[in-house]
Structure 1
Amino acid sequence: MGRGGGAPGSGAGGAAAGRGAAAHPGGQRRGDFVPPRGGRTEHGPGGPVVSRRIEGLLLGLAAGDAAGWPAARHRAARMPEWTRRLTRELDTFAEQNATTTLPVPIALNQPPEPLRLGPSDDAEWAAFAAEAVLRAGDDVLGDLSRDRRIRAAIDLTWTAVASEVAAAAERAPEIESAVLPLRARISVRAGLGNLAAGLRPPATGHDNPHYFDDAACVRACVLAVAHPGDPARAADLAEFDARYTQDGDGVHGARAMAAALATALSGAGADACVAAALDELPEGTEIGRNARHALALVTATDTAFALVPLLEHQIVDHVYSYGIAAAETVPVALALTLAAAGRIAEAVPAAACLSRVADSAPALAGALCGALGGGECVPEAWRHSCRTLSGCALPRLTGTDLVELAGLLEAAQRTRPGG
Structure 2
Amino acid sequence: MTPPGTPQGPRTAERILGGWLGRIAGNMLGKPVERGDYWTRDRIDRYLRLTGALPLTDYLPEPPPGSAADFELRPEWRSCVRGRIHGSCRDDDVDYAILGLHLLETHGFDFTTEQVGELWLLRLPYLQTFTAERAAYRNLTAGLKPPLTATYDNPHQEWIGALIRADIFGWTCPGDPARAASLARRDAVLSHTGNGVYGAMWAAAMIAAAFTATTAREAVETALTRVPASCRLARTVRRATALYDAGLPWSDALTELDRETGRLGWIHTVPNAGVITAGLLYGAGDFTSTIALTVRGGLDTDSNGATAGSVAGVLCGASGIPPQWTRPLEDRVRSAVFGFDGARIGELANRTARLAAATPAGAGA
> Per the shorter chain, which TM-score range?
0.7 to 0.9
C-alpha contact 1:69 1:355 (8 A) present in aligned 2 = no
Matches within 5 A, 1:21-36: none
* CA positional deviation for 1:351: 0.8
2:66 corresponds to 1:123? no
User: Which residue of the partner structure matches residue 9 of structure 1?
Assistant: none
1:66-107 residue CA offsets vs partner (Å, 9 max, x unmatched): 11144789xxxxxxxxxxxxxxxxxxxxxxxxx954444569
Residue of structure 2 equivalent to 1:333: 276
**In the alignment, residue 137 of structure 2 is paired with which amino acid?**
L
- Please list every run of 5 or more consecutive structure 1 residues that lacks an aligned counterpart in the other structure: 1-48, 74-98, 137-148, 166-179
Q: How has the CA–CA distance of structure 1 residues 414 and 103 changed in structure 2, closer, same or farther, with 3 Å as cutoff?
A: closer
CA contact (8 A) 1:220 1:254 kept: yes
Name 1:222's counterpart in structure 2: 168
SS at match of 1:228: coil
**After the TM superposition, which residues 187-266 of structure 1 pair with which residues of structure 2 at under 5 Å, given as runs?**
187-207=132-152, 208-266=154-212
**Secondary structure of the equivalent of 2:157?**
coil
SS where residue 408 of structure 1 aligns?
helix
| Correspondence for 2:24 among 45, 52, 62 | 62
1:323 aligns with 2:266: yes
CA shift at 1:210, angstroms?
0.7
Amino acid at match of 1:64: G
What is the match of residue 161 of structure 1? 120
Structure 2: which 5+ runs fail to align?
A: 1-10, 36-67
Quickly say closer, same or farther: Cα 1:312–1:221, change in 2 above 3 A: farther
Q: Does 1:134 align with 2:79?
A: no
Compared CA separation, residues 181 and 343, structure 1 to 2 (3 A): same
Quote the residue 1:368 is aligned against. Answer: 311
Could you say what the CA RMSD is over the residues aligned between the two structures, in angstroms? 2.9
Superposition map of 1:46-57 within 5 A: 52-57=14-19
Matched, 1:150 2:109: yes
Q: % of aligned pairs identical?
A: 28
Change (3 A) 1:274 1:395: same
User: Partners of 1:164 and 1:61 in 2: how far apart?
Assistant: 21
Q: Quick one: which of 329, 342, 345 aligns to 1:399?
A: 342
3-state secondary structure, aligned to 2:310:
helix
1:269 aligned partner: 215
Cα 1:324–1:375 change in 2 (3 A) is same
State the Cα distance separating 1:237 from its structure 2 match: 0.8
**In structure 1, how many angstroms separate the alpha carbons of the residues matched to 2:309 and 2:121?**
29
- Kept in 2, the 8 Å contact 1:236–1:255? The answer is yes
- Taking a change above 3 Å as real, the CA distance of residues 259 and 333 of structure 1, as seen in their structure-2 partners, is same
After TM superposition, give the deviation of residue 124 of structure 1 in Å: 1.8
Alignment of 1:260-299 (within 5 A): 260-299=206-245
Shift of 1:293: 0.7
CA contact (8 A) 2:31 2:80 kept: no
* Conserved 8 A contact 2:175-2:211: yes
Q: Is the 8 A contact 2:181 2:201 kept in 1?
A: yes
**Contact 1:69–1:352, Cα closer than 8 Å, also in 2:** no
Offset of residue 383 of structure 1? 1.1
The alpha carbon displacement at 1:128 in A equals: 1.4
2:353 aligned partner: 410
Distance 2:74 2:26 in 1: 19
Distance 1:314 1:379 in 2: 30
In the alignment, what sits opposite 1:173? none
TM-score, with normalisation over the residues of structure 1? 0.67
CA deviation after TM superposition for structure 1 residue 396, in Å: 4.5
In 1, the alpha carbon distance for the partners of 2:33 and 2:102 equals 22
Higher RCO (Cα < 8 Å, 6 or more apart): 2
Q: 1:56 to 1:114 in 2, by over 3 A?
A: closer
8 A Cα contact 1:133 1:153, kept in partner:
no
Deviations for 1:325-352, whole angstroms, at most 9, x for unmatched residues? 1111223212321232332111100011
Distance 1:156 1:335 in 2: 35
Q: Does the 8 A contact of 1:181 with 1:394 survive in 2?
A: no
- Paired with 1:349 and 1:370, the residues of 2 have a C-alpha distance of 13
Partner AA of 1:151 in structure 2: D
- Give the CA deviation at 1:381: 2.6
CA drift of 1:248 comes to 0.5
Q: Distance in 2 between matches of 1:355 and 1:102?
A: 14
Who is 1:12 aligned against?
Answer: none
Distance 2:34 2:159 in 1: 21
Q: How many angstroms does 1:355 deviate by?
A: 2.2
Deviations 1:254-292 (A, max 9, x none): 111111111112354323211112113434322122111
Distance 1:183 1:248 in 2: 24
Report the alpha carbon displacement of residue 416 of structure 1 after superposing the two structures with TM.
4.5
